[in-house]
Structure 1
């Protein structure tokens, strides 16, 4: 018959494993050994005892004379305790009525009260009116024999209810730290569970084989995993949050949170320079990282419960801890000014095209666990260095294929898609920042709540996270919210101007600060000081008279403080695939050169920004990469999930949820650094010409104000709006572009031609 559990990593279906504990293939010798053991005398005796217990339970524990009989594993009752210890001693039987009249009906209540002697004495003296002699005797018995019997009764009750009562004697021989000889209690089982949680699967199997018979090993392992951990105020901490109200974390996670590498995230704004346009956009990457850790735990535990696996399972608890660590550490590699630091400063100004913040995050994670002893001990106990790095980086859908039938193997694969999902981008990182960034201006920005979507997610046997087919609109809303936030918030034209100024200032000061060396060599110690506080470091430098770069950087920061920012000249949005490709082939640097040459200005006088905005899957429909399922009734009416595989069926499912024909767009935006009207007009005309001749654009572009906003009202020229693309656009100036004139009543009106 083999092992009596359904888990394929057990003794009857024992599988050989690689060094990381992953199952590779069944082991024939172990199958043979399990079959022999199962047919042995010990196995037959165990099954016979279990059958007797089940039969006794079915009969209601009745004796031949039809009197109720307590099951073997039931703990001692209050009545039995008082009558047993009342013989030959002070007559304790009379205490039963007094205790019951005052609300004490169970022996374990007295045992708990005896742990605090003052409470027991108060009960006996003030309520039950028990004399001093009986009180002292009762206290003595409760703190010795009764407590031991009660704890052993709890263990026997726990084993007996799961058909493993015969293991009690074997467990009494287990050696654990700080355990009283001869007494193995339920608390000891919790300690054993915690000890096994820190070991690999192979080590756990070996340890359990030394404790219990191999036939019972897998059932006992599952039983250990079902013990709810004892919670107290010292096992978790509560963190207040603007999105989730309050978040609960295990205290061991703070061995990572309370490190210089993670605390550095407090000094990095999530949205870079957006706070200069939206004053409420001041939340940090620290808040976001805690939110991802919290949401990852919720998401994974929902998947676990849907799979029918206990949330307290040893492997589940290990994966939850690793996911929270990955959530906390996934943004360690970000620099100041959010993504602008990487794309504009590192790639364009420094020319380090291969550098990316994801690699720096992994580098800093290694640096964290190597330089913080407690964090290193925690991650090594969980055997999770490689796992956490793969969770942060994300893995290809073809990696780590599921090799077992038990749901835990599918959950292990799904865990890699929680923080960073390479299949379709639906991960807790995105779900958190969409909520958090929208809270910047809750009445004007699109909102999204992923709670419902997470509740209707499940894991398929191949490890893919799929969503109920009725949640197609919810998925479509998520990707649309991302697109709208990019359009409205992340690529706001004034935000881009502020970011360009900050990046230029950082580049001017980079030589004096040695930034190229830090970034190029991935110097973790130096990188810890690269935060948004670098603005103040540059402002406070006293060597500006020696270093012209520092002086120019200070001038740029002074302009930012006075809101004298780079001026928006014009922009154009491409949404056709061939136009986007043509624009990308030219590149930002070549466009900058062409515009500068056409306008007769220096290339450093203008800024060309090329922003690609899409729904998460570039030019493809993001819903094509999301798996959906329907529920089908199985045996006994129990529903189970079936993935929608057919191309036509899935196409019909998602066709009504999203009707866009183009899924990405590219925006070309031009800024000018100087407040010069002649240069402004020249750059605008040059950009107009390049759009018409190089990029074959025939419609209008959006142009900016000709006069700076700092000008007085009678000096301003109204915003041009859309400028027609024809060769003599500036010569054929429309009437509404003439300067306004003041009327006799002090008001301004548009001049007539």
Structure 2
């Protein structure tokens, strides 16, 4: 009788060899729901700026799972009791933490659906998988939802110093080539401990965590909120909105059957939860479906949809201007006048310019705290423990406003 070896070893470009910890983890990775993450880019459209940023949510999930195994080993070596069922559950929870992401990750999160974030979708998918695996994910779901009595497990999954953030900062820095985002992951993991069932950082790890927070802030401005990527996102979102508008008037807009459901109407949380087939359709769409549509829509008879598709496909991005203040009515009207002078129909103006904002905070006190365990036994928030004024400043939310518009529209209209 053939017995399949499920204790596989993967070669990860960031960490080297990664061992799958259990047969259940192997089976979850093999499941079609998880395999879909191979076709969802981790950084959405960031490759418009950094050509190497083509890694997937699949890679990130594997990396986060690996770090979870590393931190649990370290915590256990310091005398903290970690039961085997807890170890497996924690690794499963972090493995599946992003399984609810749609095409291009965050880019289309509120375009295909209305008011349904990827965390809620993740919970729904985990529940479906739990049924398929006869309740073996019960503990992982408790940890993910923060209903398990040992709170540090959830803090390792979702906090301001969790394995998700440690992996994506490290991995995204690696694939973009932004050296300022490089962090000492191994050092930070070794400095973590448990105090009264909460995650803490030993005092000697303070500098490493300060470096991490500064690196995270840098990555947000240089990578995640880069204005070129934002311009690409605007065009992609407007292409989908135009397709939806055309379909609402009865016009033919080709798209895969599962994606078509989300173009026919914007689906809210209630409908998403009550209509079982909607989640199944969501789990069948990925970046490839969107790109396939864009390539098809290039030849659509509607000039607006065709223009948007061509602009996205050929990286003819909108000009974008960032500022500390909201763009004035004068600036906006000037852009509108430019578009109208170049043949844009007044009712279609919204597809050729966009006003928006982005914000970044390196350390949000309201979410969760990074606690430093002093040698005296006292626990302090990192803002209190650090003598760097920059750490205190990281709690301030910095907001930027932008105005973007098509500069090449005259070539098409």
- State the TM-score, normalizing by the size of structure 1: 0.46
Which of the residues 95, 98, 101 maps onto 1:328?
A: 95
Residues 1:366 and 1:554: Cα distance change in structure 2 (over 3 Å)? farther
Confirm whether residue 368 of structure 1 aligns to residue 368 of structure 2.
Answer: no
- Note the C-alpha offset of 1:595: 5.3
Q: Which structure 2 segments of 5+ residues have no match? A: 248-252, 254-259, 273-277, 338-348
Which of the residues 377, 386, 396 maps onto 1:654?
A: 386
Within-5 A mapping of 1:287-686: 287-309=59-81, 316-343=83-110, 345-346=111-112, 352=114, 354-370=115-131, 372=132, 376-377=133-134, 380=135, 382=136, 384-385=137-138, 387-393=139-145, 395=146, 412-421=150-159, 425-442=160-177, 444-461=179-196, 463-510=197-244, 511=247, 512=253, 513-516=260-263, 517=265, 519-520=267-268, 521-522=271-272, 523-539=278-294, 541=296, 548=302, 552-568=304-320, 570-573=321-324, 596-597=332-333, 600-601=336-337, 602-617=349-364, 620=365, 625-631=369-375, 642-644=377-379, 653-656=385-388, 658=390, 661=393, 663-675=396-408
Q: C-alpha separation between the residues in 2 aligned to 1:439 and 1:651? A: 28
- State the TM-score, normalizing by the size of structure 2: 0.81
1:481-523 per-position Cα deviation (integer Å, ceiling 9, x unaligned): 1110011111111111111111112222344522155843331
Local SS of the residue matching 1:264: helix
- Note the C-alpha offset of 1:331: 0.7
- 2:257 corresponds to: none
Q: C-alpha separation between the residues in 1 aligned to 2:388 and 2:72? A: 29
Residues 1:281 and 1:295: Cα distance change in structure 2 (over 3 Å)? same
- Note the C-alpha offset of 1:659: 5.4
Local SS of the residue matching 1:504: helix
- Note the C-alpha offset of 1:629: 1.7
- 2:31 corresponds to: 259
Conserved in 2, the CA contact under 8 Å of 1:414 and 1:459?
yes
1:669-701 per-position Cα deviation (integer Å, ceiling 9, x unaligned): 111124369xxxxxxxxxxxxxxxxxxxxxxxx
Local SS of the residue matching 2:181: coil
Which of the residues 243, 247, 265 maps onto 2:14?
A: 243
My pick for the range that moved more, 445-454 or 264-273, is: 445-454
My pick for the range that moved more, 661-670 or 263-272, is: 661-670
Local SS of the residue matching 1:330: coil
Local SS of the residue matching 1:307: coil
Within-5 A mapping of 1:277-288: 277-288=49-60
My pick for the range that moved more, 508-517 or 446-455, is: 508-517
Q: C-alpha separation between the residues in 2 aligned to 1:672 and 1:308? A: 56
Local SS of the residue matching 1:476: helix
Q: C-alpha separation between the residues in 2 aligned to 1:325 and 1:627? A: 25
Q: C-alpha separation between the residues in 2 aligned to 1:282 and 1:631? A: 43
- Structure scoring higher RCO (CA < 8 A, sep ≥ 6) equals 2
Conserved in 2, the CA contact under 8 Å of 1:592 and 1:603?
no
1:574-605 per-position Cα deviation (integer Å, ceiling 9, x unaligned): 6xxxxxxxx6xxxxxxx798854565544443
What value does the CA root-mean-square deviation take over the aligned residues? 3.2
Q: C-alpha separation between the residues in 2 aligned to 1:558 and 1:269? A: 21
Q: C-alpha separation between the residues in 2 aligned to 1:532 and 1:572? A: 31
Local SS of the residue matching 1:465: strand
- Note the C-alpha offset of 1:628: 1.7
Q: C-alpha separation between the residues in 2 aligned to 1:542 and 1:562? A: 13
Local SS of the residue matching 2:151: helix
Within-5 A mapping of 1:698-737: none
1:295-329 per-position Cα deviation (integer Å, ceiling 9, x unaligned): 112112321221353x6xxxx11011111211221
Conserved in 1, the CA contact under 8 Å of 2:295 and 2:313?
no
